[in-house]
Amino acid sequence: MAEAMVLCRVPRWSVGLWASPGWWRTTCTLRALVRPKRGPGCPGGASGPLACSMFSKVSSCTPEVMLTQERYPVQRLPFSVVSEEDLAAFERLVPGRVVTDPEELEVSNVDWLRTARGCSKVLLRPRTSEEVSRILRYCHERNLAVNPQGGNTGLVGGSVPVFDEIILSTALMNQVTSFNSVSGILTCQAGCVLEGLSRYVQERDFVMPLDLGAKGSCHIGGNVATNAGGLRFLRYGSLHGTVLGLEVVLADGTVLDCLTSLRKDNTGYDLKQLFIGSEGTLGVITAVSILCPPRPKAVNVAFLGCPGFAEVLQTFSTCRGMLGEILSAFEFMDAECMQLVQQHLHLASPVQESAFYLLVETSGSSTGHDAEKLGCFLEQVLGSGLVTDGTVATDESKAQALWALRERITEALSRDGYVYKYDVSLPVERLYDLVTDLRARLGSQARRVVGYGHLGDGNLHLNVTVDAFSAALLDTLEPYVYAWTAGQRGSVSAEHGLGFRKRDALRYSKPPPAVQLMQQLKALLDPKGILNPYKLLPTQA
């Protein structure tokens, strides 16, 4: 069953959109892989739809991004500086795949949100784990810092250098190694783009267990390194459960082969778990083995209006009970979110104006059965007044349109002004209280305080928009949001990770002994600290 193929050979920086045949959910907000084009361009704020799209890799019309080392109080650690001899050595290790052109490097030095910028002078593009091993062995000996990079779609500044770290890109490690059509187990290199993998397994009647808005750019290795959550989490669970094996290159170049393709393996400590969510700080993931569920034959999407958050919670309980095993997403957004997508994106609400909106998706193996279950559920929640209005889509294009209302909130937010972003986990029954509290606390200081997210996972995306960045407002928000979350034993980062920007918030979700053990693990696996420095672990213990 082993087969090898190259996925996504579309030139990474080609102009325009990467056309995706897609499956059933739209990728219309995905404007990845746009060629970097710097210059004065059009004025910041007002811009064409493509260049300023939320998923543009690099926009041509936004102002220069300030260097991270200038914006934040951070000191370069005493790593070596890349020399001409180093570049010559790299050229021997990965011939023709050593990038030093500043224009090309810019794309990998700046993060997707355009709020962090490193000044790396070299990017390496290995094709194999052996090449990664040789590179890391060399860097380890030379005390050179390394920033592993996948699709560079992270939201916390974790995927770009802070100073001059060498960028180690997985872009050319894009081979599928094998797929077992009985078990649904896929094994591939870390640089495979998620959307390409989705297409690959869908053609074989399976689906990837994760799906993200950034799927057109993000790499599976990066997904695993950041323990990506996303839209199928409610149904298929965490990558800690679905990733079956990993190949990881350690800081000193040791190749750790835990790339088993087995559902069960209780031989010793489950080492791969250490690297899932370690954000490239403990090792470089070079290959992944992952369990793909069978492709559902029927998908339905309902979009509902709810009069209050209590009704949202009751609808969720009812939904779990009545839709059971076919429930695949339960997303919510508040009235402010709807106003945002209406105002900035001219999307029309398919339901009456409500305090809250829900998107409920089912995925199952029988069109008739699923429609019947969904019908009974809708009858129940509409009849009892939990839901006041709703619409259902069974065909792909209408379902896409409903998903767009939820998926394009981020894009609408970015057009509303400067955005302060938070991504927290809370007990579901307290989930919206943080939005209400913060709205009261900020009053007229904020343009909007909005809440939306993966209710089924207890994951709130809390966003505050203002005219322009203000340090004073930041002080009002932080640590308030983190302390509030900690007060509920919540997580200050549900799915985005800590990266560079949130590393000092770690202590709000983890007690000192846990932080200390993390530091000990880092010291054990990367004693020189060369792997993705300045990330994940707090500045001071």
Task: Name the residue type at position 309.
Answer: F
For its own copies, the binding residue among 111, 361, 407, 457 (CB under 8 A) is 457
Judged by beta carbon, residue 325 or residue 353, the one nearer its own copies is: 325
CB of residue 24 to its own copies, shortest distance in Å: 17
CB of residue 446 to its own copies, shortest distance in Å: 25
Q: Are strands 2-6 and 175-180 parallel, antiparallel or unpaired?
A: antiparallel
Between CA 211 and CA 218, with CA 216 as vertex, the angle to 5 degrees is 75
CB of residue 363 to its own copies, shortest distance in Å: 8
Judged by beta carbon, residue 61 or residue 374, the one nearer its own copies is: 374
Which residues between 313 and 342 bind its own copies (CB under 8 A)? 313, 316-317, 320-326
129 binds its own copies (CB under 8 A): no
Judged by beta carbon, residue 26 or residue 328, the one nearer its own copies is: 328
Of 8-16, 167-175, 188-196, 492-500: span binding its own copies (CB under 8 A): 492-500
213 binds its own copies (CB under 8 A): no
CB within 8 Å of 442: residues ≥ 6 apart: 449, 464, 473, 476
Judged by beta carbon, residue 57 or residue 502, the one nearer its own copies is: 502
Judged by beta carbon, residue 173 or residue 327, the one nearer its own copies is: 327
Largest Cα–Cα distance in the chain? 74
- Using the Cα atoms of residue 301, residue 304, residue 309 and residue 311 in order, give the sign of their dihedral: negative
Q: Where are the alpha helices (DSSP H) in 324-421?
A: 335-345, 367-383, 396-407, 409-414
Judged by beta carbon, residue 22 or residue 209, the one nearer its own copies is: 209
Judged by beta carbon, residue 56 or residue 242, the one nearer its own copies is: 242
Judged by beta carbon, residue 319 or residue 412, the one nearer its own copies is: 319
CB within 8 Å of 524: residues ≥ 6 apart: none
CB of residue 274 to its own copies, shortest distance in Å: 7
372-381: long-range contacts at Cβ-Cβ below 8 A with a sequence spacing of 24 or more?
A: 373/322, 373/323, 373/324, 373/326, 374/300, 374/302, 374/323, 376/322, 377/318, 377/319, 377/322, 377/323, 378/302, 378/304, 380/318, 380/322, 381/304, 381/315, 381/318, 381/319
524 binds its own copies (CB under 8 A): yes
Which residues between 65 and 124 bind its own copies (CB under 8 A)? none
Q: Report residue 336 as tokens.
A: 């402010």
The interface mask with its own copies, positions 164-203, x = CB under 8 A, is ----------------xxxxx-------------------
305 binds its own copies (CB under 8 A): no
374 binds its own copies (CB under 8 A): no
The interface mask with its own copies, positions 225-264, x = CB under 8 A, is -xx-x---x---xx-xxx-------x---xxxxx-xxxxx
Question: From the centroid of its chain, how far is CA 521?
Answer: 24
> Residue written as tokens 């928009």?
465
What gap in Å lies between CA 119 and CA 57, rounded to an integer?
17
Task: Name the residue type at position 449.
Answer: V
User: Length of the chain, please?
Assistant: 541
Of 52-60, 191-199, 364-372, 379-387: span binding its own copies (CB under 8 A): 364-372
CB of residue 421 to its own copies, shortest distance in Å: 14
What gap in Å lies between CA 355 and CA 353, rounded to an integer?
7
Judged by beta carbon, residue 65 or residue 214, the one nearer its own copies is: 214
Which residues between 414 and 453 bind its own copies (CB under 8 A)? 425-429
Which value, in Å, is the radius of gyration of the alpha carbons in the chain?
Answer: 23
CB of residue 232 to its own copies, shortest distance in Å: 13
What phi, psi does 77 have (nearest 5°)? -80, 160
How many residues touch its own copies under the rule CB under 8 A: the total is 96
Judged by beta carbon, residue 43 or residue 427, the one nearer its own copies is: 427
CB of residue 510 to its own copies, shortest distance in Å: 6
For its own copies, the binding residue among 56, 414, 509, 532 (CB under 8 A) is 509
Judged by beta carbon, residue 87 or residue 523, the one nearer its own copies is: 523
Buried-exposed string 477-493: b where 16+ CB fall within 10 A, e elsewhere: bbeebbebbbebebbbb
506 binds its own copies (CB under 8 A): yes
What gap in Å lies between CA 393 and CA 149, rounded to an integer?
38
Which residues between 262 and 281 bind its own copies (CB under 8 A)? 262-271, 273-274, 276-278
Between CA 18 and CA 20, with CA 19 as vertex, the angle to 5 degrees is 110
